[in-house]
Amino acid sequence: MVIHKPVLLKESIERLNLKSESIAVDATLGGGGHSIGMLNIIGRSGKLVGIDQDTVAVENFRQKNSADNVILVKDNFANLKNVLTEFGPPAGGEKVDAILADLGYSSMQLEDTGIGMSFLQDAPLDMRLDRDGKLSAKAVVNTYSQGELSRLIKNFGEERFASIIAKRIVDARKKKEIETTTDLVEIINTAIPEKFKHGKLHPATKTFQALRIEVNHELEVLEKFIPQAIEALNPGGRLAIISFHSLEDRIVKDIFRTHARGCICPADFPICQCGQMAKVKIITKKPVEPSVEEIAENPRSRSAKLRVCEKL
């Protein structure tokens, strides 16, 4: 049985400043660990909206938590405003007190042999969190041009050997369609020089990251989500986001800073002309990272970074 361990659970829940009557949103339900943490504080007098594009994640949580103060929605968190308009408590209400988004994958998702998120086991090369999504990892590796693959792996995976990996993928698929995670891992292994295969990261880590980002449009939906989340908060409400690689963290940091900035007029303007007002204050001046103890217990948490802002 797969046991999911929510990352930075104590740190994120504490910084959300939840109260017994709070209306909270878990924008990335996943294994449900953070939602349980929220429910333990808000209790029966609070409300929780749980969102996930993965039908399995939503149904698994529904089976264990059917309380009438829990609303579960199968959707992408990029559609947060629409979700809260339709389902948010009170009926049709959009304003909430706390929103949390854990951008990582749950243990169940990583070990689901039906979608092939992980390079550690043989599975179909799919990677779609939304099973109704049109683009799969198999389609990407078998149809994208060599140049497209190289740019994808370099930009989304920050992989130094992207061009070589892309060439090997194109060479391999001329002989046989690339169908499984094992097929792809074997191809990647031929492209990585031997002396770079024994570091902290598996040779396939960055390429798989790039494919997951592409298939699930992860950076695009994150950029759409954050402004909606800030807008959806009541004054004093907080948004907490846990990221797992530099591309995500940079987006979170930059958007938080943009919304925390007031007037952007030139310093020599005697009177503000832009009218821009700060919308949030940043609670975490530096990202919160897992403790040594948490990393030892859950190695998947090692790259996690938590950033929190508060609505003004």
pLDDT per residue over 113-141, tens digit each?
A: 778 888 988 999 999 998 888 899 999 99
Instruction: Provide the 10 A C-beta neighbour count for residue 60.
Output: 19
CA distance 256 to 282: 7
Cis bond before residue 90 (omega within 30° of 0): yes
The two tokens of residue 33 are: 């660990």
Percentage of the chain with pLDDT > 90? Answer: 79
- The structure tokens 């950033």 sit at 307
Instruction: Provide the 10 A C-beta neighbour count for residue 177.
Output: 12
Burial of 16 (0-12, 13-18, 19+ CB in 10 A): buried
Instruction: Place 171 in a pLDDT band, splitting at 50, 70 and 90.
Output: very high
Tell me the three state secondary structure of residue 305: strand
Average pLDDT over residues 33-61: 94
CA-closest candidate to residue 174, choices 142, 211, 209: 142
The pLDDT value given to residue 280:
97
What global pTM score does this model have? Answer: 0.92
Q: How confident is the prediction for the chain on average, in pLDDT? A: 92
Q: Which residue has the higher pLDDT, 265 or 248?
A: 248
Q: Which residue has the higher pLDDT, 68 or 174?
A: 174
The pLDDT value given to residue 60:
92
DSSP state of 88: P
CA-closest candidate to residue 238, choices 10, 6, 23: 23
Tell me the three state secondary structure of residue 281: strand
| Helices and strands, number each (H, E), in the chain | 13, 7
State yes or no: pLDDT of 259 exceeds 70: yes
The pLDDT value given to residue 1:
43
Average pLDDT over residues 178-202: 93
Instruction: Place 2 in a pLDDT band, splitting at 50, 70 and 90.
Output: low
The pLDDT value given to residue 210:
98
The pLDDT value given to residue 92:
56
CA-closest candidate to residue 75, choices 94, 93, 49, 98: 49
Report whether 87 contacts 71 (CB < 8 A): yes
Percentage of the chain with pLDDT > 70? Answer: 97
CA-closest candidate to residue 180, choices 130, 128, 117: 117
211: Cβ contacts below 8 Å, ≥ 6 apart: 127, 137, 140, 141, 152
The pLDDT value given to residue 3:
57
- Top mean pLDDT of 7-21, 59-73, 122-136 is at 7-21
Query: What's the CA angle centered on 49, arms 16 and 210, to 5 degrees?
Result: 80
State yes or no: pLDDT of 272 exceeds 90: no
Domains of the chain: 9-108+218-311 (3.40.50.150), 116-216 (1.10.150.170)
Q: Which residue has the higher pLDDT, 68 or 103?
A: 103
Instruction: Place 93 in a pLDDT band, splitting at 50, 70 and 90.
Output: low
Determine how β-strand 70-74 pairs with β-strand 233-243.
unpaired
